[in-house]
Amino acid sequence: MTADARTANRPRPTWWRQWPLRAGRVALLWAIAYAGFGLACALTETRVFPSGDALGPSAPGWAVMSVGTSAALTCAAVTRHGTRPASRALLWALCALSALGAFGLLMDLITLTFGQGVDSRAAAVHHVLAATGALLLAATARADRRPPVVTYVRPPATAAARSVQLTACAGTVAFVPYVVMKQVWVFGGTFAGTSGAEMLAISERNGASGIWLTLESRGLDATVLLAALGVFLLWGLVRPWGQVFPRWAPFLRGRRVPRRLPLAPALIGAATLAPYGVFGLGYLTLATTGVVTMRRGDFPSPADALLVAWIGMIAFAAYGIALAVAARSYWSRTRPLPAAAPTGRLRRAAPPDGPLPYQAP
């Protein structure tokens, strides 16, 4: 028997089999905590949104509390009466709102990785809570209170469709101008009217951490390293080796690592970079056509700032969209398949307290 067959036939832990019944309860606890967090921010006038000042000092907190309260009431109804079409639709709507609230989580993770502090601790906590809530609400919307009656097995590792791989190629190529621009600055060259020494001074003035400045002084740009990791993740989602990573990762051998683990960073990256890049391209289009005015920022002229912004936004938008497409393909290719009996029929699993409804001869 192959390793894949042994892994597929191994019974799942009890907590995993009971997860569909517990998802609503865990989401209910999260919703109560999320509503309490929003209430505390509203009473203390703590900003939890980047643009919270435009809405007033306490309005963002009340908005968070309302989402948490709605989620708590919905999860309580689901826990008591089961998932119904109306409650499922409301759960997905609240999931979308939570996902919007998690925007910026990737930026927080990047700054913390390189030893820099986040702009706002309350906003960072809100990003984490909102992302957790989006996952829990989605799990609750998909959970069924009835126990499963079909035995599922793990599908073999396969490559994504050709169209998905071409999308991954586009997302990879879009980073090339961005990487070239960054490396020109790191090696002391001049691009968009700004030299490498000036960019290093700008990074220092903007509060870059010691790790960030050390990498730049050694010819390595931190964002280029992150782009390389992002491309590695992208191709792992579309190639077969990305589905068997526990085998070739020494620190994961012998451990039961879920095959869908790469979806977590993929979803965070896609949910952050795709909207950021797409809306950024829209703004740059308006700036290029003269509808809005582009500020020059740290660059000599607005035209230089516009050139740098176009290179960055094209990379973020193309990569974010490619990551979303690749994650969708990875999800469908790793989805457990119903086990087929020798006759071609589905093999039914025994119900909790009853005889086996079907067994292949």
Low-confidence winner among 146-150, 151-155, 271-275 (lowest mean pLDDT) = 146-150
pLDDT tens digits, 208-258: 677 777 777 777 778 888 889 999 999 999 998 888 765 544 444 445 555
pLDDT at residue 351 tops 60: no
Final residue before a domain boundary, out of 146, 181, 204? 146
Same domain flag for 167 and 39 = no
Of 193, 191, 242, nearest in space to 221 by CA? 191
Burial class (CB in 10 A: 0-12, 13-18, 19+), 251: exposed
> pLDDT confidence of 361, banded at 50, 70, 90?
very low
Q: Is residue 77 part of a domain?
A: yes
Q: Is residue 357 part of a domain?
A: no
From residue 213, give the alpha-carbon distance in Å to each of 207, 228, 343: 10, 19, 64
The mean pLDDT value of the chain amounts to 78
Q: Are 83 and 145 in contact (CB under 8 A)?
A: yes
The alpha-helical segments, DSSP class H, found in 82-161 are 85-101, 105-113, 121-142
Q: Is residue 127 part of a domain?
A: yes
Same domain flag for 140 and 166 = no
pLDDT at residue 199 tops 70: yes
Average pLDDT on 48-73 reads 77
Same domain flag for 51 and 196 = no
Average pLDDT on 288-295 reads 86
Same domain flag for 180 and 277 = yes
Q: Are 247 and 160 in contact (CB under 8 A)?
A: no
Low-confidence winner among 15-29, 39-53, 268-282, 324-338 (lowest mean pLDDT) = 15-29
Predicted pLDDT at 211:
76
Same domain flag for 132 and 167 = no
Predicted pLDDT at 347:
45
Specify the higher pLDDT residue, 196 or 181: 181
> pLDDT confidence of 316, banded at 50, 70, 90?
very high
Same domain flag for 262 and 127 = no
Alpha-carbon span 4 to 246, nearest angstrom: 12
Average pLDDT on 269-286 reads 89
Same domain flag for 142 and 176 = no
pLDDT at residue 53 tops 70: no
17: which strand partners? Answer: none
Average pLDDT on 259-280 reads 84
Instruction: Identify the sign of the CA torsion 256, 260, 266, 267.
Output: negative
Q: Is residue 350 part of a domain?
A: no
Against a cut of 0.75, is the pTM above it? Answer: no
Q: Are 324 and 316 in contact (CB under 8 A)?
A: no
pLDDT at residue 5 tops 50: no
Average pLDDT on 194-198 reads 83
From residue 313, give the alpha-carbon distance in Å to each of 53, 172, 193, 284, 290: 26, 14, 19, 9, 18
Same domain flag for 63 and 177 = no
Low-confidence winner among 37-41, 142-146, 275-279 (lowest mean pLDDT) = 142-146
Specify the higher pLDDT residue, 306 or 103: 306
Q: Is residue 219 part of a domain?
A: yes
pLDDT at residue 156 tops 90: no
Domain span at 175: 162-248+258-338
HEC string of 288-347 equals HCCCCCCCCCCCCCHHHHHHHHHHHHHHHHHHHHHHHHHHHHHHHHCCCEECECCCCCEC
Same domain flag for 186 and 231 = yes
Same domain flag for 51 and 129 = yes
What total of structural domains would you count in the chain?
A: 2
Alpha-carbon span 203 to 201, nearest angstrom: 5
Largest CA distance in the chain: 79
Specify the higher pLDDT residue, 30 or 149: 30
Final residue before a domain boundary, out of 100, 119, 146? 146
